[in-house]
């Protein structure tokens, strides 16, 4: 018993759970992500089978929402810098609660499209503002830990939400679909109330001297370093497109692996990612280490692409499954390493413009959502090995760019000197 208590105490200290802001932030993320898990698992079925919209029509609405998010995201970030990330995040939670709640009344397609644009923009803007809030609450030395902990909590809550969505999916009950959407809307109200209880310190004075030089001017568009890591973030997000869109098609149609292996591999990815993210983030916590994490992430995802291609060339079902397991291990390692490189986006941003810069950095993910399915899914499934090799090399080179560009930057040199 005493050993268990000692382990719990050590884990609590490592994850900073004794801090009130950590507990509130994790509770907020859990509420938000639980609702998101329910909605993600049921939304397409609800809009096509219950509301009667076409699959292409639903896809078009989501694409228009991503396009709105791409253009409005940095402006929302700049506004959050003016009012503060806490108020900005609470407003976004409110918009998401109302928008998702109105889906219950969206019987006309035009209303569905309008709501999709609103909620998708708020969805895509929220992670950057949430990170800006973490930047205000936690010092640089603690930021890697809280980012990893939040990621793990978000993944766990999404899994639980997806499991809760099993009932409406299996029964096909319209009423249960509506309940699920209502729970998602309510989850953002809970998240907003929890964030409102945070005691957020005042912003630091505007940067001067070296901090201003690091910020690269008033806009991330004029900072070649920030532009570079934003583009790399978009390339790195290829692993998400592969995981969510390519693998289901590739495993079922291009490999001889058992059909049940898809869900088993996705569960393996979720479990490993939740368990590994905090220690990986702590291992690559400073600027110099984050550069290495980006480079290693590119290597790991490239290795995963090679293994996925190999699985398609194997005739035996169990050998194909074994190759896919190796691929998923490398894939998960790359995913965790790229997430561990997130401190680059904090350290290269001026503190007084953190929301704007992080929102700009998030455009990499939004851009991948827009063009990734078009450029990657069809070619990978149709042409197989050559495209897997091309995608792997592109991600490998993308991961190496921050290290090649910034390894001699003053921030990297300072990080190495501190060790």
pLDDT in tens, 157-167: 888 888 888 88
Nearest Cα residue to 234 out of 20, 90, 73, 80: 73
Under the banding of pLDDT at 50, 70 and 90, the label for residue 203 is low
- Are 265 and 189 contained in the same domain? no
pLDDT for residue 209 is more than 50: no
Distance (Å) of CA 100 to CA 126, 316, 369 = 15, 46, 20
pLDDT in tens, 102-139: 999 999 999 999 999 999 999 999 999 998 898 888 88
Residue 308 within a domain: yes
Nearest Cα residue to 232 out of 37, 78, 379, 367: 367
Residue 25 within a domain: yes
Rounded Cα distance, 55 and 370, in Å: 17
- Are 260 and 123 contained in the same domain? no
- Are 172 and 232 contained in the same domain? no
CA-based radius of gyration for the chain: 21
Residue 1 within a domain: no
Residue 318 within a domain: yes
Q: Calculate ∠ Cα 404-410-414, nearest 5°.
A: 110
Rounded Cα distance, 276 and 63, in Å: 32
- Are 337 and 380 contained in the same domain? yes
Q: Is 126 exposed, middle or buried (0-12, 13-18, 19+ CB in 10 A)?
A: buried
Last residue of a domain, one of 198, 220, 255: 198
pLDDT for residue 4 is more than 80: no
pLDDT in tens, 290-349: 999 999 999 999 999 999 999 988 888 899 999 999 999 999 999 999 999 988 888 888
- Are 246 and 309 contained in the same domain? yes
- Are 188 and 238 contained in the same domain? no
Looking at residue 418, which CATH number applies to its domain? 1.20.1250
Mean pLDDT across the chain, nearest whole number? 85
Under the banding of pLDDT at 50, 70 and 90, the label for residue 8 is low
Residue 46 within a domain: yes
| pLDDT computed for residue 217 by the predictor | 46
Residue 8 within a domain: no
- Greater confidence, 59 or 177? 177
Under the banding of pLDDT at 50, 70 and 90, the label for residue 407 is confident
**388-400 mean pLDDT:** 93
- Are 187 and 238 contained in the same domain? no
3-state secondary structure of 316: coil
pLDDT for residue 211 is more than 60: no
DSSP-assigned states of every residue in 69-90: HHHHHHHHHHHHHHH-HHHHHH
pLDDT in tens, 226-285: 988 998 888 888 888 888 778 878 888 888 888 788 778 888 888 888 888 888 888 888
- Are 248 and 103 contained in the same domain? no
What share of the chain has pLDDT > 90, as a percent?
Answer: 33
| pLDDT computed for residue 249 by the predictor | 81
- Greater confidence, 222 or 101? 101
Last residue of a domain, one of 154, 178, 198: 198
Domain of residue 56 covers 19-198
Overall domain count for the chain? 2
Last residue of a domain, one of 161, 177, 198: 198
Looking at residue 66, which CATH number applies to its domain? 1.20.1250.20
Give the side-chain half-sphere CA count within 13 A for 271. Answer: 8
pLDDT for residue 52 is more than 50: yes
| pLDDT computed for residue 216 by the predictor | 42
- Whole-model pTM? 0.80
């Amino acid at each position: 018993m005493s050993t268990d208590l000692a382990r719990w105490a050590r884990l609590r200290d490592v994850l900073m759970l004794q801090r009130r802001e950590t507990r509130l932030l994790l509770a907020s993320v859990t509420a938000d992500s639980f609702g998101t898990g329910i909605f993600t698992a049921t939304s397409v079925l609800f809009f096509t089978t219950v509301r009667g919209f076409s699959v292409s029509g639903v896809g078009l609405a989501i694409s228009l929402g991503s396009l709105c998010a791409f253009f409005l995201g940095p402006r929302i970030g700049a506004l959050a810098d003016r009012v503060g990330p806490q108020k900005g995040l609470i407003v976004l939670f409110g918009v998401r609660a109302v928008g998702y709640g109105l889906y219950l009344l969206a019987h006309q397609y035009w209303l569905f499209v309008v709501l999709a644009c609103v909620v998708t923009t708020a969805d895509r803007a929220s992670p950057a503002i949430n990170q800006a809030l973490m930047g205000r609450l936690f010092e640089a030395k603690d930021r890697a830990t809280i980012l990893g902990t939040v990621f793990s909590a978000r993944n766990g809550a999404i899994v639980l939400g997806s499991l809760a969505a099993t009932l409406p999916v299996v029964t096909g009950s319209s009423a249960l679909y509506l309940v699920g959407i209502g729970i998602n809307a309510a989850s953002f109200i809970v998240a907003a109330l929890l964030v409102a209880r945070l005691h957020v310190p005042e912003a630091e004075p505007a940067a001067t001297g070296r901090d201003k030089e690091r910020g690269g001017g008033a806009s991330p568009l004029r900072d070649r370093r920030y532009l570079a890591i934003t583009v790399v973030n978009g390339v790195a997000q290829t692993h998400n497109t592969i995981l969510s869109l390519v693998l289901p098609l590739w495993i079922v149609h291009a490999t001889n692996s058992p059909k049940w292996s898809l869900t088993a591999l996705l569960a393996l990815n979720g479990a490993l990612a939740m368990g590994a993210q905090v220690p990986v983030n702590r291992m690559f916590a400073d600027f110099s280490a984050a550069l290495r994490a980006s480079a290693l992430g590119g290597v790991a995802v490239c290795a995963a692409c090679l293994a996925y291609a190999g699985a398609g060339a194997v005739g035996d079902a169990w050998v194909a499954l074994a190759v896919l397991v190796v691929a998923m291990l490398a894939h998960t390692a790359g995913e965790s390493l790229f997430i561990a490189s997130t401190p680059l986006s904090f350290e290269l941003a001026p503190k007084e413009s953190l929301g704007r810069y992080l929102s700009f950095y998030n455009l990499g993910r939004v851009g991948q959502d827009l063009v990734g399915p078009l450029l990657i899914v069809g070619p990978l499934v149709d042409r197989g090995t050559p495209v897997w090799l091309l995608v792997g090399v592109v991600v490998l080179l993308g991961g190496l760019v921050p290290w090649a560009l910034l390894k001699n930057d003053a921030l990297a040199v300072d990080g190495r000197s501190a060790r």
